[in-house]
Amino acid sequence: MNGGVYRSVNPTVSIDQPVHPVPSEFLLAQNYPNPFNSTTVIRYALPKMSDVKLIIYNVLGQKVRTLLNDRVEAGYHSIEWDGRNDIGAQAASGIFVYRLKAGNQIISKKMLLLR
């Protein structure tokens, strides 16, 4: 060692855990694709854990399908609708309203099913 000063460096290795962002507000996105003919995806965001209901209605206001009725963690979520009603029959072509209720907040949007 030629009389020099040597330093050994042991780098610290850390593994970052993935961060799951929590949205700042209650959101319901437009379904995609829209219009659709077989399945569509509905995305929503919850700023806090909530009791959530996501229900599909026809234009007459009749319930077609309950997609979700559960307690859901805060975060970004999605759910797929296969165009079927609660008894498993295919819904007819038409305009439908999907309504998301979380706590005391409600948002509704329209979608178009084409068979």
Q: Which residue has the higher pLDDT, 13 or 67?
A: 67
Domains of the chain: 27-113 (2.60.40.1930)
The rounded distance, in Å, linking the Cα atoms of 32 and 30 is 6
pLDDT in tens, 51-84: 999 999 999 999 999 999 999 999 999 999 999 9
Average pLDDT for residues 21-39, to the nearest whole number? 96
Mean pLDDT calculated for residue range 92-96: 98
The strand pairing partners of 78, in sequence order, are 43
Predicted local distance difference test score (pLDDT) of residue 21: 82
Say whether pLDDT at 90 is over 80: yes
- And the tokens for 67? 């997609």
What lies within 8 Å, CB to CB, of 14 at 6+ separation is: none
